[in-house]
Amino acid sequence: MQRIAFKMQLNKGQKAEYKKRHDEIWPELKRFLKDSGVSEFSIFFDEETNILFAFQTVTGEDGSQDLGETEIVKKWWKFMSDIMEVNEDNSPVTVSLEEIFYLD
């Protein structure tokens, strides 16, 4: 198991919509993430900067951001692309964060 953290940029004024979409996450996407080894997936929001902080535990080397070759993930990224900063392929612009401390 490894812990992965990264940040993303939400467009201004989109917090409620972002939360709504995640509250209604597609069951097939949720199942795919779990089947791909992603667990303990949390996303936090910083009101001052509109930055999203994501944390997940994964088995293997890849986290959710590495699953973009699948149709369900591509569909989700396109669905989310109007409310956050994205790359040309609609994947969220992410900045990986280095773990400095962990208390088990």
H/E stretch holding 21 reads helix 15-23
DSSP code, position 76: H
H/E stretch holding 97 reads strand 94-97
Do residues 21 and 80 lie in contact, with contact meaning Cβ atoms separated by under 8 Å? yes
Active site residue 85: no
Do residues 102 and 3 lie in contact, with contact meaning Cβ atoms separated by under 8 Å? yes
- Which of 3, 19, 20, 22 is the catalytic position? 22
Catalytic residues: 22
